[in-house]
Amino acid sequence: MRLQNKISIITGGASGIGEATARRFIAEGGKVLIADRNVAAAERLAGELGANAAAIECDVRKEASAIAVAEHALRLWGQIDVLVNNAGSELNRSYNETTSDEWDMVLETDLKGPWLLCKHVVPHMVTRGSGSVVNVSSLNGLVGFPLSTAYGSAKGGLVVFTRDMAIELAKSGVRFNCVCPGVIQTPMMERWTKLMPDQQQAQAMLRGVMPIGRMGRPEEVAGAILFFASDDSTLCQGAVLSVDGGFTAQ
């Protein structure tokens, strides 16, 4: 029960890594607000998870959403202990075929969103002198890939944003850390696979990306997020944890 009586907000909590994190946080005794653009899926999951879970519609690109999410969590449970900035949008497109709107969409979802949520959640944590923010970046934020300029720039920016917040607020009692998942079997990865002409070849290729020879499960990332969310990581400030089956160890 590592999150007993702790209140968490999880953006993008209705699917994939966010959903696995919501399930794990509830299993660890926490209360979870699932903030997702897909409010129907968020409400379905919250209904399944019971009284310790709630859902709210949220588009992390919009400041009004960030304000509403923070207010809702405070109205429901009176405090916020953990913020997981997990909502993300992928783009697999060459730098010169990426449209200006696509660039904005990815940067706004994957980088501006976490900043907006921090802007409206972290001051409450600072007032209480404690809190943990976990940003979900990617191995695309650590190393270069083809067709990844928008996504990689956003995720790389999120790594540096994590460090900047960690230093700016180092003495506040609020911690900022980051996980960088590898290839994880989620609806996002399924969408990416569907873009490939040969599905079986794409699956085999994805299984071969990480040295461990398989894709990761969302629950395996949720475990790393839990570590930063919980008091097991009280000395971690600005840490960046690869959860990538050895990819960045190469």
Among 151, 161, 228, 247, the active-site one is: 151
Task: Report helix, strand or coil for 31.
Answer: strand
Q: Which is nearer to ligand NAD, 184 or 226 (CB)?
A: 184
Which spans of this chain sit near ligand NAD (rule: CB under 6 A)?
A: 11-12, 14-18, 36-38, 58-61, 86-89, 109, 136, 138, 181, 183-184, 186-189
CB of residue 173 vs ligand NAD: minimum separation in angstroms? 26
By beta-carbon proximity to ligand NAD, the closer residue of 22 and 169 is 22
- For 10, the 3-state DSSP assignment is strand
Residue 76: CB minimum distance to ligand NAD, A:
18
C-beta of 132: minimal distance to ligand NAD in Å?
17
Q: In whole angstroms, what separates CA 195 from the centre of its chain?
A: 23
Q: Helices in the chain by DSSP H: which ranges?
A: 16-27, 39-49, 63-77, 100-107, 113-128, 149-168, 187-194, 199-209, 218-229
The amino acid occupying position 27 is: A
Please say which residue, 9 or 17, places its beta carbon nearer to ligand NAD: 17
In the complex with ligand NAD, which residue's Cβ is closer, 78 or 146? 146
Q: In the block, which residue shows the tokens 């972290």?
A: 122
Q: Using the 8-state DSSP alphabet, how is residue 86 labeled?
A: -
> Is 151 among the residues known to form the active site?
yes
For residues 153 and 196, what is the distance between their CA atoms, to the nearest angstrom? 23
Residues acting as catalytic residues: 151
